[in-house]
Amino acid sequence: MKHILKTCTIALVLLATVSCKKEQNQTEENAAANDTIAKTETQRIISLNGALTEMVSALGHQNEIVGVDVTSTYPEGVKESATDLGHVRSISIESIIALQPTIVLATRDDISPELAEKIELSGITTRIFDREFSANGTKKTIDAVAEILESDKGKELKDKIDADLAKVTPLKVTPKILFIYARGAGTLMVSGKNTPVDKVIALAGATNAIEDFDDYKPLTPEALIKGNPDVILMFDTGIESLGGVDGVLKIQGIDKTNAGKNKNVIAMDGALLSGFGPRLGEAAAQLNSKLAENK
């Protein structure tokens, strides 16, 4: 009898132990699931750079973006669900706080030190990136953003960049390209060396017609004639601001260049061409293809 009671007692203890452990595991699983749900529900991202917005979206977090800057034009519809805060240099800390973000993403070249300091002092998590305008630099930024968002899609985006860059084919003749930034006839700037567009031109297998200065400078007839580009490259919005290709060909000095004489003007989407985001390889391949057509 004592043996039976002892056996029953052991069985009940084991059953209770298993039951408790099962409940504990269930509790831990539920807590983990709740943490994941809470994280998804509370993630509120403000992206103050078009390329970063593209990265966040491509990494699967577009629905968590609550605010963007004026350069965030892709993917289409991003501004339908997120507040357009305007140009990053004119954004106020109040407009950022009003959106109750959990994290703000920006680039050092764009955001002012004053605004960055105000965001950090407000207690909002801030990540500011130093960007390198190259394929490897873009991949590094993708890795950094993917790590912040705990996304597993970073490799997929980097592989696509490589696959698209592999589509760039050697051109029979290396053309000289002049990039003109236009906001109507009153604002015409040309790209020198070491700009994002300059780097994409190189990736596409061409050369920049301007080699004697960095960054951007106002367009002059003398610079046009000296550079004598084979192709004029512009954002599609810039060409529209001049009334189309005919308006571009009326710029003083254009008619004296090879590009003007042959009416070789290429238009591309601004965010694609100069963004250095997940579509970098696509931008280089597209420009390369357009140059191949402009023989």
pLDDT digits (tens, 9 = 90+) for 90-115: 999 999 999 999 999 999 999 999 99
My answer on whether 86 and 190 are in the same domain is: no
Residue 4, judged by CB atoms within 10 A of its CB (0-12, 13-18, 19+), counts as exposed
pLDDT for 293 beyond 60: yes
Q: How far apart are CA 197 and CA 217, in angstroms?
A: 14
My answer on whether 159 and 180 are in the same domain is: no
**Residue where one domain finishes, among candidates 165, 199, 226:** 165
My answer on whether 157 and 198 are in the same domain is: no
Task: Write the CATH number for 50.
Answer: 3.40.50.1980
Does any domain span residue 59?
yes
Kindly state the average pLDDT of the residues 131-154: 97
My answer on whether 286 and 183 are in the same domain is: yes
The model's confidence at residue 295, banded by pLDDT at 50, 70 and 90, is low
**Residue where one domain finishes, among candidates 165, 195, 228:** 165
Task: Output the DSSP codes for 159-177.
Answer: HHHHHHHTT----SS--EE
The model's confidence at residue 38, banded by pLDDT at 50, 70 and 90, is very low
pLDDT for 2 beyond 70: no
Q: What pLDDT digit, counting tens, does each position of 40-79 carry?
A: 456 899 999 999 999 999 999 999 999 999 999 999 889 9
Question: How far is CA 159 from each of CA 138, 195, 268, rounded to the nearest angstrom?
Answer: 12, 24, 23
Does any domain span residue 16?
no
Query: What pLDDT score does 294 carry?
Result: 77
Structural domain of 102: 45-165
My answer on whether 120 and 220 are in the same domain is: no
Q: How far apart are CA 260 and CA 232, in angstroms?
A: 8
Does any domain span residue 193?
yes
Q: How far apart are CA 120 and CA 136, in angstroms?
A: 29
My answer on whether 123 and 76 are in the same domain is: yes
**Residue where one domain finishes, among candidates 165, 200, 217:** 165
Does any domain span residue 17?
no
Q: What pLDDT digit, counting tens, does each position of 146-179 carry?
A: 999 999 999 999 999 999 999 999 999 999 999 9
My answer on whether 132 and 186 are in the same domain is: no
How many domains in the chain?
Answer: 2
